[in-house]
Structures are given as C-alpha cells and as structure tokens.
Amino acid sequence: MTDTSNPQDRTPTPDPAEDNAFFPSPYSLTQYTADKTDFDSLVTDQKYTGGKWKILTIATEERYMLMKNGKFFSTGNHPVETLLPIHHMYEAGYGIDVATISGGPGKFEWWAYPKDDEAIASAWAGTKEKFKNPLKLADVIAEGLDDYAAIFIPGGHGAMNVIPFDQDVQAALDHFLGNDKLIITLCHGPAALLAGNIGRDSNPFSGYQITAFPDSLDFGANLEIGYLPGEMPWDLGGTLKKEGIKIINDDMTGATTRDRNLLTGDSPLAANQLGKDSVTALLEQFGN
C-alpha cells in the first residue's frame, strides 16, 4: 500500500504484488483522496417498494493498466465512484447485482477508500460479497435483463482496460439503450460507451453529451504529481470524441449531466450528486 509518511513525495509508490507496478504517489493522494466523502443526505425519503427493479453494476476485474513506458498502474474500480452512487440507489429501494466480464472478482483502488465515511462503509458491507463473487456478464445477459432498470459502470482507470472492447458489454448497453432504461457512469467509466461501436460503422451514443474525467489532467497534472507512473495507453476523452460523443466539461468540478437516459459525472467529486440524480431518474421512470 502507498506509503504516506512523506506526503510531499511525488514519486509513484511501488506495488509489491506485481513487477514494475505502482500506486499513486503520497503527494497525489493528498490531492485526490480524503477520509470522508461529501455525502450529506439522500435526495428523497421516497423509496421504491415494488420489489422487481434492480441495478446491474458492471465492475472491472482488471487490476493493472499497462502504461506506454512499460510500467503498470495499480488501479481497479474507484471506491467512491462505485459505492457512493450504489448507496443512494440501494437506499432508494433498488436491488444491486454485480457482474464482471469473466465472473472474476471486481478489483478496487483501496488507496482511495475513505475510511471514516459511513455511507461508503454501509454500501461496502451490503455489496462486498457481490464484488468478490460477481455474476458473469454473459450469463446475466443469457438469463435476461428485463428486471434491470439501469446499468451502472463505475469509474477508476481499470474501466478502460477490457470493458470498452467487450461484446457482452455492447449487448448489455444495447438492451438498456433500446428499452429506454437508464445508463449511469462517471469519471473513466464512460470508456464503456466505446463498446457500442464494436463491429459497427457508428456508435449509437454519437451525439450524446456527457461529463467525464478530463484528458488534460490524465496527460498533465496526474503525471506531474505522480498519480500515474507513466502516460496512459490511450486518451479517454479524445477517443470518445472521435466517435461523436460530446464531452461538455474541460476540468474536474464534480459536474454531472443527463442526456436522455444517459447520466454521467466527471470524477469522484461527482459521485454523490450522480447518486442523487440517478435516484431521481429511477423513481420517475421505475418507481412503481
């Protein structure tokens, strides 16, 4: 785990579990992580009590991102971006299922876990076993997606590894897009939208407006402060834009947006508001 004894150190910290792999630097963690989130309250006391509708969370099982310089970034699902939106949706009465592409355990960026946050702790306690023993996405699709009101793809750089290039992800997105259901994602999670273009001439999300983590930080400050151990293999925002997806934010402010049934947020700072936005949308459309 990252050594925080020298909080001014901008050198990425070696991950002893893998050769040439690194956690973010101590200094970068002082800029990007905290012991508590900005969770303040649920958006409403109203709850869904129908017992049918669930949320399908697609987690990454990929721990490492191979950077251009040959180093590995030790990543996964960001705990705040994953668990805070889940907390809002679960507390509003919606069941939570977790799937990965192979059915292997979901991975987390534990260096970003807010150890004093009650909302995060509650969501983790309720979903821990689902992330450790998730469903296989292909099996979920084969059994049918009719009972799912929304698909949720958390952030974390790990979401850029395999999820954007997987045909089962494409099939799941097709279902939610074609059946007027909700698609919820944030930070680096919008990489999943690239799966819409696999084997096609165009991406069905072309023309949609989203918020996402800015390339300017990943290819600028995140390298300078040692959050990343090298340049990423590809640029999230630039690649999304090439497929006609419009990114409306230039920086990281906690912004969220909704375009039709696609709800997005720009970073961990957006996780709380995105959770609230998601509950509002779910209750409007799937509250009975």
Buried-state track 170-183, b at ≥16 Cβ within 10 A, e below 16: bbbbebbbeeebbb
Strands of the 64-66 sheet, one edge to the other: 13-14, 21-23, 72-74, 64-66
Which of the residues 65, 89, 137, 187 is marked catalytic? 187
* Mean of all residue pLDDT scores within the chain: 97
Q: State the average pLDDT over residues 57-78.
A: 98
Q: Return d(Cα 79, Cα 82) in angstroms, integer.
A: 5
Strand 95-100 vs strand 135-136: parallel, antiparallel, or unpaired? parallel
Give pLDDT tens digits for 202-239. 999 999 999 999 999 999 999 999 999 999 999 999 99
267 vs 87, 119, 203, CA distance in Å? 17, 18, 23
Superfamily of domain 53-286: Class I glutamine amidotransferase (GATase) domain (3.40.50.880)
Residue 3 pLDDT greater than 60, yes or no: no
> How confident is the model at residue 288, as a pLDDT?
80
pLDDT (average), residues 191-202: 98
Write the pLDDT tens digit of every residue in 14-30. 999 999 999 999 999 99
The answer, yes or no, to whether residue 95 has pLDDT greater than 50, is yes
Q: Which of the four pLDDT bands, split at 50, 70 and 90, describes residue 266? A: very high
Q: What is the pTM of this model?
A: 0.97
Residues facing residue 183 across a β-bridge: 151, 262
Alpha helical stretches, state H, the chain: 26-32, 79-91, 118-132, 137-143, 167-178, 215-216, 222-224, 236-242, 271-286
CA 15 to chain centre: 22
Average the pLDDT over 49-53 and give the result.
96
For residue 1, name the pLDDT band (cuts at 50, 70, 90).
very low
Q: Is 204 a catalytic residue?
A: no
User: pLDDT tens for residues 132-167?
Assistant: 999 999 999 999 999 999 999 999 999 999 999 999
pLDDT surpassing 90 at residue 5: no
User: Does the pLDDT of residue 2 top 90, yes or no?
Assistant: no
Contacts of 242 (CB under 8 A, 6+ apart): none
pLDDT at 117: 98
Q: With CA atoms as reference, report the closest residue to 3 among 212, 226, 200.
A: 226
- Which stretch of DSSP H or E encloses residue 98? strand 95-100
Percent of the chain at pLDDT exceeding 70 = 98
The mean pLDDT of 188-203, rounded to a whole number, is 98
Question: What angle is formed at CA 280 by the lines to CA 276 and CA 285, rounded to 5 degrees?
Answer: 145
Percent of the chain with pLDDT over 90: 97
| Both tokens assigned to 187 | 């930070």
Domain ranges for the chain, please list them.
Answer: 53-286
Q: Mean pLDDT, to the nearest integer, of 58-62?
A: 97
**Averaged pLDDT, 180-189:** 98
